[in-house]
A and B are shown apart, each in its own frame.
Chain A
């Protein structure tokens, strides 16, 4: 079963990711969305609605009701604007909501974006805010932090499959190497396996360099139908699948601690909708909020057998010139992780790849790309599949 109307992305835009100082979500979103509009060749009168992924402008900027501020600042006047929140999958969910609104015929041209301004708060306050993305009653209350959830999964994965800290570190090393050629990435600095392993412990066995950073940034794309895309100058890329799944909020309610059942469920739905198998995918952006998350993602998405993700990463199979390039943008780890913007920035990276515009990080002959966006510790999963036209 495909989408009721065929859907395309015709424009992309992103801000610089990093610690951006005295700037607000409204400015960041406006910059990303306006870039996407210019790239698509659409004007203000073409836009029917705005969707924005955002975790918590409430906590980070003392601003609730973010949605209307964005069309306000973009001078889009009275068009509808909707905020989606699904922890770190807020951006992926913004795109999915936008797709549903256009595929259903409700709208023709919409902006799907995401934004987060995180660096206003000191790290312990950010840690506290992110811990609210786990189960507040039964996890955060007994001291579980967000890195803590993934650390518990990492330890279980290591115990069951023999995955090592070196294998995890290899994912970070690759991310930093790829980010060197991404001008918008937060970090432009190579790291070594030793540097990762010698960085301070955050939640054992995850070191500082196993964790994605605290980041400000925004990303946006213009979504329309494949048919309508002909009216604009933007270079279209088709979206051939959009899938979402949930899982139990608390990790202890899941039978498996070494991976995400929700990733496997959402991947199966997406492959079926796209009419492809994992072997058909040429390039992926997965949700590497922590190095272990990338290892589990490439297994649960069906690219490698369970337990082989760490080996594949250490051996370079997921490098840009490897068999399956994973996170050529630098990923959450080195490109940065402005929570609500992340899901859309993954899409921006894949669209660049399928248009052949990824510069030094271009994957040869990329025709089909996939994004995987995880909310919290897997309570939400969003996968999209894209095809070169």
Chain B
């Protein structure tokens, strides 16, 4: 780490949420080593640089690393029970937890998914991926 930048940390989580509301995945990139983080982080996990730039993650496709079908959920999601959540690895490498939409019988680790934000929900709860029909 060469130059120590004074961090303006307050916008990282809010920018991510605002991004989802505009239909964008916002992450951050370390301009020192190139590592990309989703959700955005202020300090690079690898090289500890504070030279982080917010950027749009353009990768909208990925695969399901794991998932679960939630049968008992908190009050705010009672209307959609049972629902699926999973961890998606985007083709650009970042991993993120999201609602997963699609037939339960077609769920499997490794299945392809694509970004499908839910306009009915607010903030971070909009993040959703849809199983891609692989024929």
- Chain A: residues with CB nearer than 8 A to chain B? 123-125, 127-128, 131, 137-145, 147-148, 151-153, 155-156, 159, 200-206, 250-253, 257
Are A251 and B87 closer than 8 Å at their CB atoms?
A: yes
With A124-B74, A138-B124, A142-B85 already in contact, the answer to whether A203 and B69 are too (CB < 8 A) is: yes
Are A142 and B124 closer than 8 Å at their CB atoms?
A: yes
Are A144 and B97 closer than 8 Å at their CB atoms?
A: yes
Chain A residues, CB < 8 A from B67? 152, 155
Residue of B nearest to A136 (CB): B124
Report the bound CA distance from A252 to B86 in whole Å.
9
Cβ 8 A contact of B85, one of A143, A200, A250, A253: A143
Chain A residues, CB < 8 A from B87? 152, 251-252, 257
Chain B residues, CB < 8 A from A205? 68
Are A142 and B127 closer than 8 Å at their CB atoms?
A: yes
Are A159 and B109 closer than 8 Å at their CB atoms?
A: yes
Nearest Cβ in chain A — how far from B104, in angstroms? 9
Report the bound CA distance from A123 to B81 in whole Å.
15
Nearest Cβ in chain A — how far from B133, in angstroms? 22
Are A145 and B72 closer than 8 Å at their CB atoms?
A: yes
Which chain B residues (74-126) contact chain A, with CB distance < 8 Å? 74-78, 80, 82-83, 85-87, 95-99, 109, 123-125
Tally of chain B residues near chain A (CB < 8 A): 33
Residue of B nearest to A258 (CB): B66
Are B66 and A124 closer than 8 Å at their CB atoms?
A: no
Q: How many A-B residue pairs have CB under 8 A?
A: 98
Are A148 and B68 closer than 8 Å at their CB atoms?
A: yes
Are A203 and B68 closer than 8 Å at their CB atoms?
A: yes
For the complex of A and B, list the 4 residue pairs with the smallest distance between their C-beta atoms, beginning with the closest: A151-B68, A128-B74, A141-B124, A204-B69
Are B68 and A155 closer than 8 Å at their CB atoms?
A: yes
Report the bound CA distance from A145 to B99 in whole Å.
12
Are B74 and A127 closer than 8 Å at their CB atoms?
A: yes
Cβ 8 A contact of B72, one of A137, A147, A253, A257: A147
B65 interface residue per 8 A CB criterion: yes
Chain B residues, CB < 8 A from A257? 65-66, 87
Cβ 8 A contact of B71, one of A125, A138, A200: A200
12 additional A-B pairs beyond A140-B74, A206-B68, beta carbons within 8 Å, are: A127-B73, A138-B97, A141-B125, A143-B85, A147-B72, A152-B66, A155-B109, A156-B66, A200-B71, A203-B69, A204-B71, A253-B95
Are B71 and A251 closer than 8 Å at their CB atoms?
A: no
**Which of A142, A144, A155 gathers the greatest number of chain B CB atoms within 10 Å?**
A142
Residue of A nearest to B37 (CB): A253
B39 interface residue per 8 A CB criterion: yes
B70 interface residue per 8 A CB criterion: yes
B13 interface residue per 8 A CB criterion: yes
Are A252 and B95 closer than 8 Å at their CB atoms?
A: yes
Are A139 and B71 closer than 8 Å at their CB atoms?
A: no
Residue of B nearest to A203 (CB): B68
Nearest Cβ in chain A — how far from B93, in angstroms? 11
Chain A residues, CB < 8 A from B99? 142-143
Report the bound CA distance from A206 to B68 in whole Å.
9
Are A201 and B71 closer than 8 Å at their CB atoms?
A: yes
Question: Chain B, 29-63, contact with A by CB distance < 8 Å: what is the 0/1 string?
Answer: 00000000001000000000000000000000000
Question: Chain B, 11-40, contact with A by CB distance < 8 Å: what is the 0/1 string?
Answer: 001000000000000000000000000010
